[in-house]
């Protein structure tokens, strides 16, 4: 990496080695996405990203939440942290200095030297605010989000208090760190960005819905139910979802890439809008008015100022032989990705987030705790704030677990020895921070998604990187040397980093 005296990142050559196991499985797509997120939130004028997928004598590696994003981002965050420490500058300010430009303020001339896997065409220069793969970032909002979070978390005052604590406490040390997230939303395999839905309205006014997404506890069914209820202006209790079934909605894509609500919500809205337009046309004709004067809401239908119940409107349409069933289909627009060249627009938009984490370590044992977390995350116009906050909290804890306790150990024959909860330590409820502040960034998505919301499945996991950086900050407080803390930051590795900081 090359950087100037202010901390501006000028050139980076990244090589990623992916251990794939004895078969390819999903490693190709995961490693690709790790490349696509190697820049995280930073505009690097000259960047080459190379990825090697390694066949190893271990079990196959497959997909997990984040799907390459965590691997790509943690590398970049370590780079930024190391540059800041080398220059003796505040890591937060170095991060902000290197952010992509906000909308309407692209950095002139940047990006023309971007590389992705070595591919580059001098005849077609990249846009000013472009990623290494040539996609222009037009919705970057981390400047204002960062300012908001640093203020609400009282970052500056806490930083001073922690420095004072560390100066007077030789055994217990504290660390504080900030980390941003920019995560692309869409399948990088473009044809998977499609979804279908089937909607029926029955004569009793009930609505039956089927869509192509899989409910696995993330609240997808609830969000899609809300979409249908909003479209018809009826209570949620009038809408029921039947189990996902390819006999009803065929050729479904995986519920992955954080796109379940985006894709299936839009398909459901398309089906509901078709039925609603038919109903509006029929009711307008009966009342000698126009369809634009038919309104649905609060379980009622208003036709030219006259109100009737939803049930009465449905019955009228049934008697008038209006079809009360429809399919809906949605294909994400404006996607273009040439995987071989490493160029195009693989994502419809980006989700953003940032976190501040405070930790404490025991310098005698390496034992550590997350004391407080402050998160500000971008969900656009949230479809369901309660569900989204739950996803953010769970994602953070999961990400922190990945970087602290979840250690993989193989023996010399390639057998995984940490293969059960007794040896592979996932975070428990007791590992959550005592103070856990999560807020949603209340601004609509700039592109046309379902009610201008944003995906929230995978992006929050990478907020856990701030826990790792905070542990590194605490280790650095133990001595004059910058410790090379490795992930996962188990107590053994924290203790080794403490000794390294002291010069041992």
Of 202, 151, 146, 148, whose CA–CA distance to 178 is shortest?
Answer: 146
Q: How far is CA 268 from the centre of its chain?
A: 23
Cα separation, 102 vs 366, whole angstroms:
40
Q: How many angstroms separate the CA atoms of 157 and 8, rounded? A: 26
Q: How far apart are CA 110 and CA 103, in angstroms?
A: 15
Residue 343 structure tokens: 């160029």
| Count of Cβ atoms closer than 10 Å to residue 177 Cβ | 25
- Structure tokens, 451: 């009610």
HSE (CB half, 13 Å, CA atoms) of 249?
Answer: 30
Active site residue 144: no
Which H/E stretch holds residue 261?
A: helix 260-286
Q: Which residues does residue 390 pair with via DSSP β-bridges, in sequence order?
A: none
Distance between CA atoms of 316 and 283, rounded to whole angstroms?
8
Pairing verdict, β 9-21 and 2-3: antiparallel
In angstroms, the CA 144 to CA 148 distance is 6
Taken in order 333, 334, 335, 338, the sign of the CA dihedral is positive
Q: What does the DSSP 8-state code read for residue 243?
A: P
Separation of CA 42 from chain center = 16
Which residue is catalytic, options 358, 393, 458, 500?
Answer: 458
The tokens for 475 are 């280790």
SS3 107: coil
Name the residues annotated as catalytic: 458
């Amino acid at each position: 990496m090359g950087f100037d005296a202010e901390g501006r990142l000028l050139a980076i050559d990244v090589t990623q080695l992916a251990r794939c196991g004895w078969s390819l499985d999903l490693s190709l797509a995961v490693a690709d996405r790790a490349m696509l997120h190697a820049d995280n939130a930073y505009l690097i004028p000259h960047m080459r990203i190379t990825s090697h997928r390694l066949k190893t004598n271990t079990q196959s590696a497959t997909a997990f939440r984040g799907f390459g994003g965590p691997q790509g981002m943690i590398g970049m965050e370590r780079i930024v942290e190391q540059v800041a420490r080398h220059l003796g500058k505040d890591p937060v300010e170095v991060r902000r200095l290197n952010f992509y430009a906000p909308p309407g303020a692209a950095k002139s001339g940047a990006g023309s030297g971007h590389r992705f896997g070595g591919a580059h065409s001098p005849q077609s220069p990249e846009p000013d605010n472009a990623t290494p793969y040539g996609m222009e970032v037009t919705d970057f909002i981390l400047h204002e989000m960062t300012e908001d979070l640093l203020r609400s978390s009282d970052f500056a005052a806490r930083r001073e208090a922690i420095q004072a604590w560390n100066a007077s406490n030789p055994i217990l040390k504290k660390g504080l760190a900030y980390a941003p997230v920019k995560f692309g939303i869409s399948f990088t395999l473009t044809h998977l960005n499609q979804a279908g839905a089937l909607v029926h309205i029955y004569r009793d006014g009930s609505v039956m819905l089927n869509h192509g997404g899989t409910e696995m506890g993330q609240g997808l069914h609830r969000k899609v139910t809300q979409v249908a209820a909003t479209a018809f202006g009826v209570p949620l209790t009038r809408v029921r979802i039947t189990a996902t079934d390819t006999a009803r909605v065929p050729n479904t894509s995986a519920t992955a890439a954080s796109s379940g609500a985006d894709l299936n919500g839009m398909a459901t809205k398309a089906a509901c809008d078709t039925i609603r337009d038919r109903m509006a046309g029929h009711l307008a004709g009966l009342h000698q008015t126009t369809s634009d004067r038919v309104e649905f809401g609060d379980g009622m239908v208003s036709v030219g100022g006259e109100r009737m119940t939803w049930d009465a409107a449905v019955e009228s349409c049934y008697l008038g032989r209006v079809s009360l069933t429809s399919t809906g289909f949605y294909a994400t627009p404006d996607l273009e990705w040439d995987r071989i060249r490493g160029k195009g627009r693989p994502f419809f938009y980006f989700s953003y987030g940032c976190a501040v984490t405070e930790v404490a370590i025991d310098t005698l044992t390496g034992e550590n705790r997350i004391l407080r977390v402050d998160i500000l995350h971008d969900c656009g116009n949230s479809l369901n704030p309660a569900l989204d906050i739950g996803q953010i909290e769970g994602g953070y804890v999961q990400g922190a677990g990945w970087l602290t306790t979840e250690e993989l150990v193989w023996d010399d024959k390639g057998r995984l020895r940490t293969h059960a909860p007794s040896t592979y330590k996932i975070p428990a409820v007791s590992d959550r921070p005592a103070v856990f502040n999560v807020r949603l960034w209340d601004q609509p998505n700039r592109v046309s998604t379902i009610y201008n919301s944003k995906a929230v499945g995978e992006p929050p996991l990478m907020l856990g990187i701030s826990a790792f950086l905070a542990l590194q900050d605490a280790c650095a407080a133990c001595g004059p040397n910058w410790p090379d803390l490795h992930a996962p930051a188990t107590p053994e590795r924290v203790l080794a980093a403490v000794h390294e900081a002291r010069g041992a």
